[in-house]
Amino acid sequence: MTTKARTTSAPVLGLRALNRATLARQLLLRRASLSAEAAVAHLVGLQAQNVKPPYYALAARLDGFTPDDLSAPMADRRVARLVTLRSTLHTHTADDCLTLRPLVQAARDRELGAFRKGLVGVDLDRLAVLARELVEAEPRTMGQLREALLTEWPDADPQALSVAARCRLPLVQVTPRGLWGRSGQVTLTTAEHWLGRPATPAPAPDDTVLRYLAAFGPASVKDMQTWAGLTRLRDAFERLRPRLVTFRAPDGTELFDLPDAPRPDPETPAPPRFLPEFDNLLLSHADRTRLVPPAYKGRTWAKNTAYRVLLVDGFVAGLWRLDDDALVVEPFGPLTGARRDEVVAEGERMLAALHPGSAYAVRFGTVRG
């Protein structure tokens, strides 16, 4: 049977079915009784440009979560922060730091192409060796690393040297950076040095495809490529096809999934959830309509800034922020009284988990048009 024939014969999953399946994989239909380390592994990392988002992400997903549940394994070097997927800083388990980074290394090498004019005359292999020696001798800020590299290549562009070091080496942000309430400036060493063991050779993507589907499926090849920041993953999906089931999205796109993965009834209740900026839920599919109603597309971003997002009935329904004395909820549209009560209860739960003893009230702000 041809791929086209298989696709047209596969059952269609509507938006609500896709929504509920994705929420179930993301631990957002009901909070899970997992450790923070186990949740980070299941979710294949958490995007972490800023320190606090991974904590808010886990507070929305885990039963009884407290900030120390993530800070402790990070301090013990069982979890760490480094650039991996989509050339973006993520919080990963130690094992994933040493396997996912080699998987995406080719993309990091291609990223350097945009900076080639600033790297004329720079031996990138020597740069990697020198940068490794510097940061493994002692953790360094990017500014310190850049200044040291400039002594070797004074005519190079300083920013390009920084990017080259970040792309060629798996640079971990060492603690206390990343710890709740104790974060310091960004200082870097290699993942191998910080974690005390070598990285693995670049793996075939097949196992990561299965993990992606477990955390984000059902999904298309393009969805996973968006999540990983990689291309040419079709072959891996085709190798795995005999082990997978397929569906169609409402637009006809072929979706792959694990046979035994949860696909709840589309009418399964989805409680409100407060998600941080850059939550992986909203960044890991090429087609985000399973989570973002078309009318609200673009409202969670402004230029390069992402806002904190409120889910109601499983879909993006507004934004939120913490002011000096209040958790301010800004819905995109009117909420029923019952929905507002649910949002308030969820907001109070989040505040109790992450800001115990605070005097924050939950307040509804101006509805954004």
Structure tokens that stand for 221 in this block: 């090849």
Burial pattern 167-181, b for ≥16 Cβ within 10 A else e, equals bbbbbbbbbbbbbbe
Which backbone phi and psi does 155 adopt, to 5 degrees? -90, -5
Determine the pLDDT at residue 367: 62
pLDDT along the chain (369 residues), means of 10: 61 97 98 98 96 97 98 98 94 96 92 92 96 97 96 95 95 96 91 95 91 98 96 96 98 98 97 96 95 92 87 97 94 95 97 92 79
SS3 string, 87-111, reads HCEEEEEHHHHHHHHHHCHHHHHHH
Identify the three-state secondary structure at position 173: strand
Question: Would you give the end-to-end CA distance of the chain in angstroms?
Answer: 48
Distance of CA 320 to the CA centre of its chain: 19
In DSSP notation, 292-359 reads: S-GGGTTTTEETTEEPEEEEETTEEEEEEEE-SSEEEEEESS---HHHHHHHHHHHHHHHHHHSTT--
Q: At what angle do helices 124-137 and 158-168 cross, to 10 degrees?
A: 80
Supply the pTM of this predicted model.
0.94
Determine the pLDDT at residue 7: 58
Specify the long-range contacts of residues 232-236, CB closer than 8 Å, at least 24 apart. Answer: 233/205, 233/209, 236/204, 236/205, 236/206, 236/209
Alpha carbons 282 and 280: distance in angstroms, whole number: 5
Strand partners, 256: 219, 246
Determine the pLDDT at residue 274: 98
Helix boundaries (H) for the chain: 3-9, 15-25, 36-42, 53-59, 68-75, 94-103, 105-111, 124-137, 142-152, 158-168, 191-195, 206-216, 221-228, 234-240, 337-354
Closest C-alpha to 350, from 58, 33, 37, 68: 58
Determine the pLDDT at residue 236: 97
Determine the pLDDT at residue 4: 53
Determine the pLDDT at residue 58: 98
Determine the pLDDT at residue 359: 86
In DSSP notation, 7-20 reads: HHHSPB--HHHHHH
Under a CB-based contact definition with an 8 Å cutoff, are residues 143 and 29 in contact? no
